Amino acid sequence: MFTKVIFGRYVPIDSVIHRLDPRSKLVLSLYFIVLVFFANNWQSYAFLAATTLATILLTKVQLKFFWEGIRPLIFIIILTVLLQIVFSAGGTVYWHWGIFSITSMGLVNGVYVFMRFFLIICMSTVLTLTTPPLLIADAVESLMKPLLKIKVPVYEIALMLSIALRFIPTLMDETQKIMNAQRARGVNFSSGSLIKRVKSIVPILIPLFISAFNRAEDLATAMESRGYRGGDHRSKFRILKWRGADTIACVGMAAITAGLFLLRLL
Amino acid sequence: MIEVKNITYSYPNSDSKALNDLSVTIQDQQWIALVGHNGSGKSTIARVIDGLVEGYQGEVTVNGMPLNDDTVWDIRDQIGFVFQNPDNQFVGATVQDDVAFGLENRNVPRPEMVERVQQALEVVGMSEFATREPSSLSGGQKQRVALAGAIALQPKILILDEATSMLDPQGRQEMLEILKQMKQRFELTIIMITHDLSETAMADRVLLMNHGQLVADAQPEKLFARTQVIKDNGLELPYSEQLKEQLAVAGIDLPREYMNEDRMVEWLWDKLN
Ligand SMILES: Nc1ncnc2c1ncn2[C@@H]1O[C@H](COP(=O)(O)OP(=O)(O)OP(=O)(O)O)[C@@H](O)[C@H]1O
Ligand SMILES: [Mg+2]
């Protein structure tokens, strides 16, 4: 239950999108998210939806994984769309009650907002389903390198990120173990009043923190004994490689941009 | 050569002495087995040698270099250390990243690094797990990875703190064989911490610790003969040695040298025929 992260987890299969450099995937998906806000009519939304669908198909990942990525956010999406519909005015009025009204403009706006959400989530899911978190961390490191000039400890941040990623499953396991140990002592996590349930979390958190600190101390010692001194006098085992496909992906994105701005004129 | 002179140390939050005026000299290319019951100070002395503990009394010299703030990194460069808990020393996000970590720190060029990572994983039999994440490995597999991480550094001194505790008997035997070969090939000095006296048979010297002090320093066979010392310090003779003891009581003549269980079975079989 804890292991589901929003946007979905990496699916280790082979596809054109999987093989792209994480840097290009990261930058292009962020770029696409910005691009979505430039769509202003149904043609441009349809166009972006078509390109998103094409990308999703290229990942070869089953559609149900995308649905799983959207599901946790569905409530927020519906709420926003509803608010958008009942609060925006203009066009034909279909229904009206106090400050609330359903109008043709409201409906259109609602659909646009839904599309925006939907496209953004789909593209972010494409990124996380096709790129292991570690490579995303690598991409962040590589893209942040210019910040070294203003003394941002980029390498340290990247190492912290990768260690955090590495310890998430370990700590999840630990939480589960502690919960089981508490259950064996008669604690019930799933019933009782809200206050009671929140209270039952405290005896999970305290041992979890203690063990996390112990682990951190052990880890620091182990890193030191293996010669870690921080800074940039380190060689790198994992390297990122920009390939032809990445350039093609960028050109494709430029074409999509051009297409979108043409459709905006309609 | 490692020289430890009159080391006394207490952990900051405790008032009992984890090490109490401990002195020992370890020659190059010796295989040392360090034994003692829980809390006898084995891990602590190993950490002192690697410069991971501060605020002790006494002196440590490693290969002629006195251990201090200026030399500690050079000394660590010569030491490969495998810790007790394999989970808390797994730094990399995957097996190969973890083995590479120490090499990255030593700024080893990438092509050489890739090769050394591969070789080290091969030695410990973990090649096919190179891209696996630690959460998908068993305790014993993580210990193998930790050993690979130390081997990849090609150290002069290898310190193993109960580094085989989670391996199955066969895996443990395999690791001991690997260590033996590596010791010859790379002229290694090995300090192996263990609870299990049968693991000490390959050692040149067994150091027995209790209450932060050295109680015995002898060759394995000589130590096995001192059964009372072993029992008094909370340890147990290897099974074959216990059997030997019983047979001796029954008046059967036995060879003096240590025999593992397989050798013992063979010997008994010959004797019976
Ligand atoms: N971080 C610590 N803080 C306080 N005391 C400690 C700490 N680590 C160890 N000690 C104490 O120091 C003494 C020696 O511990 P050490 O870890 O060296 O024992 P050990 O021989 O390695 O035992 P084991 O076989 O259980 O690993 C013990 O009495 C222990 O309680
Ligand atoms: Mg110990």
- Whether the CB-CB separation of B18 and B41 falls below 8 Å is answered with yes
Mean pLDDT score, A156-175: 88
pLDDT for A7 equals 54
Whether B144 and B182 map to the same domain: the answer is yes
pLDDT for A99 equals 75
Residue A66 forms part of a structural domain: yes
Q: What is the pLDDT of residues A215-265, one digit of tens each?
A: 999 999 999 999 999 877 889 998 899 999 999 999 999 999 999 999 988
Q: Tell if the CB–CB gap between A226 and B105 is shorter than 8 Å.
A: yes
What's the whole-number average pLDDT of chain B? Answer: 91
- Whole domain around residue A213: which residue ranges? 168-225
Whether B100 and B213 map to the same domain: the answer is yes
Written in H, E and C, the secondary structure of chain B is: CEEEEEEEECCCCCCCCCEEEEEEEECCCCEEEEECCCCCCHHHHHHHHCCCCCCCEEEEEECCEECCCCCHHHHHHCEEEECCCCHHHCCCCCHHHHHHHHHHHCCCCHHHHHHHHHHHHHHCCCHHHCCCCHHHCCHHHHHHHHHHHHHCCCCCEEEEECCCCCCCHHHHHHHHHHHHHHHHHHCCEEEEEECCHHHHCCCCEEEEEECCEEEEEECHHHHHHCHHHHHHCCCCCCHHHHHHHHHHHCCCCCCCCCCCHHHHHHHHHHHHC
Chain A residue with CA closest to B136: the answer is: A169
Residues with CB under 6 A from ligand 1: B 11, 13-14, 18, 36, 38-44, 84
pLDDT for A6 equals 47
Mean pLDDT score, A34-63: 92
Whether A123 and A246 map to the same domain: the answer is yes
Whether B186 and B206 map to the same domain: the answer is yes
- Looking at the structure of chain B, the number of domains it has is 2
pLDDT for A186 equals 83
**CA of B52: how far to CAs of B65, B75, B211, in Å?**
16, 11, 20
Q: How far apart are CA B126 and CA B94, in angstroms?
A: 12
Q: What is the CATH classification number for the domain harbouring B164?
A: 3.40.50.300
Whether A92 and A57 map to the same domain: the answer is yes
Whether B223 and B272 map to the same domain: the answer is no
Top residue of A226, A233, A238 to mutate, by most chain B CBs within 10 Å, is A226
Q: Which two tokens stand for residue B44?
A: 């602590």
Whether B96 and B166 map to the same domain: the answer is yes
Q: What is the pLDDT of residues A130-153, one digit of tens each?
A: 998 888 889 999 999 999 899 889
Q: What residue ranges of chain B have pLDDT lower than 70?
A: none
Residue A109 forms part of a structural domain: yes
Q: What is the value of pTM for the model shown?
A: 0.83
pLDDT at A2 over 60: no
- Whether the CB-CB separation of B208 and B36 falls below 8 Å is answered with yes
Mean pLDDT score, A41-50: 93
Whether A22 and A127 map to the same domain: the answer is yes
Angle at A181 (CA atoms; ends A180, A187), nearest 5 degrees: 80
pLDDT for A4 equals 47
Residue A34 forms part of a structural domain: yes
Q: How far is the CA of B44 from the centre of ligand 1 (A)?
A: 7
Residue A230 forms part of a structural domain: no
Residue B62: strand pairing partners: B2, B65
pLDDT at A3 over 60: no
Whether A257 and A126 map to the same domain: the answer is yes
Residue A173 forms part of a structural domain: yes
pLDDT for A8 equals 64
Whether A49 and A174 map to the same domain: the answer is no
pLDDT for B100 equals 96
Residue A163 forms part of a structural domain: no
Residue A76 forms part of a structural domain: yes
- Whole domain around residue B49: which residue ranges? 2-230
> Comparing C-alpha atoms, which of B64, B63, B84 is closest to residue B157?
B63
Contacts of A177 in chain B (CB under 8 A): none
Whether B113 and B170 map to the same domain: the answer is yes
Whether B249 and B164 map to the same domain: the answer is no
Mean pLDDT score, A66-76: 81
Give Cα A92 to chain centroid, integer Å.
38
Q: What is the pLDDT of residues A93-129, one digit of tens each?
A: 787 777 777 788 888 888 898 999 889 989 998 998 8
Whether A83 and A209 map to the same domain: the answer is no
- Looking at the structure of chain A, the number of domains it has is 2
Top residue of B71, B75, B91 to mutate, by most chain A CBs within 10 Å, is B91
Whether A15 and A80 map to the same domain: the answer is yes
Whether B180 and B211 map to the same domain: the answer is yes
Whether A10 and A127 map to the same domain: the answer is yes
Residue of the nearest CA to atom 25 in ligand 1?
B38
Chain A residue with CA closest to B91: the answer is: A163
Q: What ipTM was estimated for this complex? A: 0.88
Whether B54 and B116 map to the same domain: the answer is yes
Q: How far is the CA of B18 from the centre of ligand 1 (A)?
A: 7
Whether A26 and A120 map to the same domain: the answer is yes
Whether B146 and B37 map to the same domain: the answer is yes
